[in-house]
A and B are shown apart, each in its own frame.
Chain A
Amino acid sequence: MMRQRYSSQRVARILGWTTVAVTWGATVIARGLGAPAAGDAVPQEPPLEPALVSAASSTSLTFPDEPDGGLVIIRGTAIPNPEPVTVVRRVVVAQASQSAPITITTEIKKQKSEGS
């Protein structure tokens, strides 16, 4: 009787929809847990366009105007596989604007400049 009521096709369909429902539910719960509380500042990194540009299409893009002395191309192709846009969750906390220095002894020949 069971065999008649639940044909293999029907069982497969029930299993399929159950999987979809469970996946959807898990996603909703995960998003809910990750969502910031109301009032939190949630700035994000702005979308940077390399995600939309393939290395192959870079030749059709613009170039800087030619500087006096010529243009040096240091990286000539677009970034083919950029990191996904980062979403930063920032929680505002009271903090001192300055901190006392800490020092380490080392051989220092290199610095970094990542911009501000």
Chain B
Amino acid sequence: MIEGRFRAMGTQVVVVAPRPDSVDAVFARFVEVESTCSRFLPDSELSRVNKDSATSIILLPLLAEIMACADDLRHRTEGLVDPAMGGPVEAWGYDRTFAEVTDLPTSPIPVPKGHWEIQGADLHRTPGTRIDLGGIAKGWTCDRAVERTEALVVNAGGDLRSADPGLTVTVEDPWGNAAAEVDLGLGGLATSTIAHRAWKVGSGWANHLIDPRTLRPAEGPVVSATAVATTAVEAEAAAKAVLLLGEEGLGWASRQPWIRGALVVWRDGRVFATTGLRVRAA
């Protein structure tokens, strides 16, 4: 096996694959999805959709497939993970790549999230709905690369899909310590944190995870949540939902049949998990 690394979708991607040309194939897949789904690339299909004022629009197959996946996860997470949060996220200052985000002097006027539905390739939405597929597209691409047997493991900035039955994942807390070791084996694992992608707004802080219930950056006792599911994209959505739910996150995760288990790092550094994980202290 070989390990390949490259940057795509604003993060470091690690690929474990049988041959160098397999790594190239995974790289090409990330480039394809990013050039379709990035809201930061002005020529991407998603940027064109976000700029278009039409309330109904026909999507090309790749974007339609990823939007259908996002729709499914929106329902499973009871609306907590919704790509129509693009407007509120941009209002809080994350309207450019994170490396270019600057501090804001005051909190923004709240921007409502959009409403949308997808039927086949037809996207219908309320005027002004802006789509953000960040984490969903990343997890989806990891899954597709492994499902198409291009790679044994793909890890895109902590969103990971594995076809290696012996794979162990070290989950790090926001302070750089190993929080736990998870025997993942086959499946998806993702970690979402509000500690890294954050910037100052007035006298407080904003982060990249805007809560659709409050239209404000996530706040609560959880600074980092990790979830394990069958796929990376499911794990990604589950981790975000657990983080947003705070004290209720692990309880909610334990009642979802599609989530194998979850782990949270509390603001004071304590680490808790559901019983569904094969996990131990690192």
Contact = CB atoms under 8 A, between A and B. Distances in A.
A76 B180 CA distance: 12
A42 B103 contact: yes
Contacts of A116: 11, 135, 138, 157-159, 191-193, 196-197
Interface in A90-114: 90, 92, 95-114
Interface stretch (A15-23, A24-32, A56-64): A56-64
A65 B158 contact: no
A113 B10 CA distance: 16
B102 to A, nearest CB: 5
Interface in B1-33: 1-11, 14-16, 20, 23-24, 26-27, 30-31
Nearest to A96: B7
Given A44-B200, A69-B275, A113 B103 contact: no
B274 interface: yes
A45 B194 CA distance: 10
Interface residues of A, number: 57
A97 B11 CA distance: 9
A73 B176 CA distance: 19
Nearest to A116: B157
A114 B102 contact: no
B91 interface: no
B46 interface: no
Contact of A79 (B100, B135, B175): B175
A111 B250 contact: no
Contacts of A98: 6-8, 27, 30-31, 34
Interface stretch (B71-79, B81-89, B221-229): B221-229
A110 B272 contact: no
Nearest to A66: B251
B255 interface: yes
